[in-house]
Homo-oligomer: A and B are copies of this chain.
Amino acid sequence: MNTYPMKLVTIICESLAREPVTRLLAEVGAHGHTLFAVEGEGARGPRPGDIAEFGNIQVEVVVPPDTAEQLLTRLHSEFFPRFGMIAYLSDIQVLRPAKF
């Protein structure tokens, strides 16, 4: 069975960021995502906007590597300064790359 390399981008953010994040996913061309509520406790760093005790969501999206790059670049420049948020990349393998 052939598999193809893709990237999973996981975004954990305030629920407040839901609309702008899903709009961004559409703008970079992501073909789908999942989203679910999580409890969490954020970095105890200096920024009060860091991820709140409750009311966070986890958004997961599978995209080609170049889309992942665009997505992270825009998250970094446009979203990280405004929202309590973390994001990370994982390498995954899919069967049908045309779906993503």
Chain A residues engaging chain B, CB cutoff 8 angstroms: 1, 3, 6, 8, 10, 12, 22, 31-45, 50-51, 56, 58, 62, 69, 72-73, 75-76, 80, 86-96, 99-100
Contact = CB atoms under 8 A, between A and B. Distances in A.
A32 B42 contact: yes
Contacts of A35: 38-40
Contacts of A56: 34
Contacts of A91: 90-91
A86 B94 contact: yes
Contacts of A80: 95-96
A56 to B, nearest CB: 7
A1 B69 contact: yes
B94 A92 contact: no
